Amino acid sequence: MSSIEINPVACSTLRANSTFHGAVIEGDVRSFTGSSLREVSGLKKRDRLVIVGGAPCQPFSKAAYWLEDGKDAAYRRDRVKGLRGRKPPPPTHVRPDERRDLVHEFWRLVRESDADGFVFENVPSIKHPRNLPLYEWFVRTAKRGGFEITEIVANAAEFGVAQTRERVFVLGSRRAKPQSPNATHALPGSISKLRRAVSAGEALSSIRFNVEYEPEVLVAGRWARHLQEVPPGWNYKAHTAWAGHPNPTFVTETRFWNFLLKLAPDRPSWTLAASPGPWTGPFHWSNRRLGTSEMAALQGFPKGYIFDGSRRERVLQVGNAVPVPLGKKMISSVLETLS
């Protein structure tokens, strides 16, 4: 097993956990051919190969078209002023971003290396109308390339992760159609005989967090008092007239949903952000930011997993990761078709 990663800090993290990742090659996947990919992995032409990865999610995310759309920003500013207007639809244009091209690079390596299977992962909004043509191209091309394909939209909380993180997976195998893994846990509010989803409180109960090690978790500044007044499980809307606040500061739907968002200990966490702003949640219910060891627990990383780099770099790595139990289920589904 081997891993290819372009970020040097992430490579240090992978090497610090070599038991899980094997050989680590620092480089740009665009510089590899199918044959060189097999060579650095120590595989011969007839050895079985499964490629796991996906293009960076940022150009496909909801946050991307929130930030790109000037009309939406103007609508939110008018709402703050008390003006009413029609909310504009999400933009359908695609902003140039070379990271989108890595979808093509992923398929190129699968094809050139004559891989037996693959697992492709990304955010659900890769199926948004403005991204859908690229997603459909990938699925269609893989089918034409001889792969049996299974498309899945999975919620990590349904697989034992204390986080309601949704992701799209495309599973491909040349041998047989991969099975969609069965959920092991029930989402909050659903009627099911499965075990209830793991809560944030349960996931963090065994984490011994030291504020002195990570003082950046302490909250101070403009909205610190507001955060303290937000009940667990709420966000900035606790300070709106809609929520019954006697002295509202905000108007609903004028901030991104995770502004002043606070975890509830009896529910799974919301999706963790890779590059959070100073007031982007989820925050801990004790009115501080989450430590990176706590974030790792909410992503399902094993205890003792080491993250290298500054706090900002560690948060980026944890937030960009696929929840471990969820990724394991998807990979196992492809491997079962090859056994």
Catalytic residue set: 57
Burial 78-92 (b: 16+ CB within 10 A, else e): ebeeeeeeeeeebbe
- HSE-CB of 196 using CA atoms within 13 angstroms: 8
**Pairing between strand 185-186 and 195-196?**
parallel
The amino acid that residue 230 corresponds to is: V
CA distance 60 to 137: 15
DSSP class of 120: E
Phi, then psi, of 54 in degrees rounded to 5: 170, 155
Cβ 121 vs Cβ 327: under 8 Å: yes
Nearest to 1 by CA among 55, 34, 56, 47: 47
Cis peptide leading into 96, omega within 30 of 0? no
